Amino acid sequence: MGVVDHHLDEGLYPQAIPRIVTIAAACISFIINYYSQKWESEPELCKIALACLMIDTRNLTEYPKTKEHDKQAVAVLEGVLGPSFERSTFYKKLMAVYEDISGLSTLDTLRKDYKQASSKDEGWKCTLGTVVFQQSLESILEKAAKEAQSHQNSDSTKPLNKLGLHYLLQQVQKLMADKDLDIFSIQTSYQGESIAGSDEIPIQREMYNIASTPSGQRALAIFEQRFGQQMALQPWQHGLADQMTSSKGEMGLLARCYTTDGKMSRKQNLPLLVQCLEKPRGCAHGCSHDED
């Protein structure tokens, strides 16, 4: 059995052959490089592999996420596809399809690019689900508002942003119940305005963390306390999308919405979120209080 992974090495499966576990933007980069001599007869398969790599690296432009392994893999595939292959044109067409969520319901968009992680502490349940959108949160709320308006029971008196937020949270609740989640993290990654005098187009990121249980609420608080500065967390639109939990709180959720450091993709922040799922120290029976 072999293991190929592009995330943090947790030391699992030490006897695997091959065992390639190191940081890169795209896991497929390692597969491409490992079988670098076997792509010559598979030009169409090269395009499929390149598509995965282009999405994960934004055409090799996303730093520091993009690594030398990724650049080497692109060179291998371009060597097979030949000089007539225009990577930039391929990338533009690819992203137009990849970013198009117009045909998906709001609930289905929450299932797109979904990942899940759980606490490894025995006797303690805290499960996290995450999804990444290639659009701004504002665009997602606009889509949710339009979908809500299409339903007969929607509240047409609400402003569009609040209507979209309410409907989005309803769909999040459905997903969290279906997957038995304690916390759900919606993350966005999209290109901002170009920088004057530079070819660089900065990546903008947002994070909308939603908790529905005491263990999830605790994880949210720990994440903000421990990693708020590292992640450069700032309230999104002055706290517009934050949802307080209380006996009178709408929907019984605790949510925090931020803008974040554009360099911190899910690959960088997911390990930080997972750290916050841990059981409180000195708690043997699944209590929900935080440590000092």
Q: What is the pLDDT of residues 145-179, one digit of tens each?
A: 999 988 756 555 666 678 899 899 999 999 999 99
Quickly name the fold that domain 3-98 has.
Answer: inorganic pyrophosphatase (n-terminal core) (3.90.1640)
Tell me the pTM: 0.79
Q: Please check the confidence at residue 32 and state whether its pLDDT lies above 90.
A: yes
Average pLDDT over all residues of the chain = 86
Residues whose CB is less than 8 angstroms from the CB of residue 188 and which lie 6 or more positions away in sequence, other chains included: 132, 133, 134, 135, 136, 137, 140, 204, 205, 206, 207
User: 201-251: per-residue pLDDT in tens?
Assistant: 678 899 999 999 999 999 999 999 999 999 999 999 888 788 654 434 455
Q: Look at the block and give the residue holding tokens 């390149």.
A: 50
Which part of the chain has CATH 3.10.310.20?
A: 106-275
Q: Please check the confidence at residue 193 and state whether its pLDDT lies above 70.
A: no
Which part of the chain has CATH 3.90.1640.10?
A: 3-98
Q: Please check the confidence at residue 15 and state whether its pLDDT lies above 90.
A: yes
Please state the rounded mean pLDDT for residues 66-75.
Answer: 94
Please state the rounded mean pLDDT for residues 107-121.
Answer: 92
Quickly name the fold that domain 106-275 has.
Answer: Diaminopimelate Epimerase; Chain A, domain 1 (3.10.310)
**Preceding amide of 18 cis, omega within 30:** yes
Q: Please check the confidence at residue 28 and state whether its pLDDT lies above 90.
A: yes
Strand partners, 181: none
Q: Look at the block and give the residue holding tokens 């999308």.
A: 241
Give the span between the Cα atoms of 92 and 43, in whole angstroms. Answer: 19
